């Protein structure tokens, strides 16, 4: 059997072609660096990933300004209807420019319920993660989950009187949270709770 020389062996690379990259050195104050690092920690991502997210948001902002001549509002457009015996707001992406925090805060202020909790409905798997937290922390935690899971789009915000929870629908893609799952907010973190009521 004839032997193949090294020059006759061809390798085929599969997958997308690597994009050309350049390194960029940013100079910032210690305070700015610490703040940027804290943002990355809050979102559960690296500083490089956070920079890419900021670039995407700035790209979207500039595109909207170019098309409409206006800065995009923090409030995304929504339509109101009823479901589960309560009010629901729907839209193409309710995240706006702050991961849905402002719109969810607006929704809760217009439809207040003491003692209600948060339900994150994953539209990708059609399952829910229940999060036990104070009502005043719901907008911040929902925004945290949105960023943590890279959960675009956020398609609805609603109230469910049966489960006594505010329900937020988003497409969770990272797998950082378990769906279905139960969590409680404690010390700025989400801690899993087993279905038998014991901490996981």
Domain residue spans of the chain: 30-68, 79-192
Residue ranges of the chain with per-residue pLDDT less than 50 = 1-8, 68, 70-73, 197-198, 200
Rg (CA), the chain: 22
Predicted local distance difference test score (pLDDT) of residue 4: 45
Q: What are phi and psi of 18, to 5 degrees?
A: -60, 140
Predicted local distance difference test score (pLDDT) of residue 89: 94
- Interval 117-152: pLDDT, tens: 999 999 999 999 999 999 999 999 999 999 999 999
With 0.75 as the threshold, say if the pTM is over it: no
User: Given CA atoms 17, 20, 23, 26 in this order, what sign does their dihedral have?
Assistant: negative
Whose CA is closest to 132, among 59, 186, 71, 183? 183
Predicted local distance difference test score (pLDDT) of residue 20: 79
State how far the Cα of 120 lies from the Cα of 41, in Å rounded to an integer: 21
Whose CA is closest to 44, among 192, 127, 143? 143
Predicted local distance difference test score (pLDDT) of residue 70: 47
């Amino acid at each position: 059997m004839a032997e193949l020389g090294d020059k006759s062996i061809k390798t085929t690379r599969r997958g997308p072609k690597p994009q050309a990259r350049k390194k960029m050195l940013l100079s910032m104050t210690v305070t700015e660096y610490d703040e940027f690092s804290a943002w990355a920690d809050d979102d559960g991502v690296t500083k490089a990933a956070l920079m890419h997210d900021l670039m995407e948001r700035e790209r979207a902002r500039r595109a909207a300004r170019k098309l409409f001549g206006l800065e995009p509002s923090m409030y995304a457009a929504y339509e109101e209807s009823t479901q589960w015996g309560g009010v629901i707001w729907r839209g193409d992406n309710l995240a706006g420019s702050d991961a849905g925090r402002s719109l969810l805060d607006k929704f809760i202020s217009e439809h207040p319920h003491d003692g209600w909790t948060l339900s994150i409905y994953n539209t990708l798997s059609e399952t829910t993660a229940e999060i036990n937290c104070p009502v005043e922390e719901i907008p911040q935690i929902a925004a945290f989950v949105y960023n943590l899971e890279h959960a675009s789009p956020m398609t609805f915000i609603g109230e469910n009187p049966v489960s006594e929870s505010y329900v937020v629908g988003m497409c969770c893609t990272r797998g950082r949270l378990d769906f279905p799952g139960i969590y409680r907010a404690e010390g700025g973190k989400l801690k899993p709770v087993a279905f038998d009521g014991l901490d996981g």
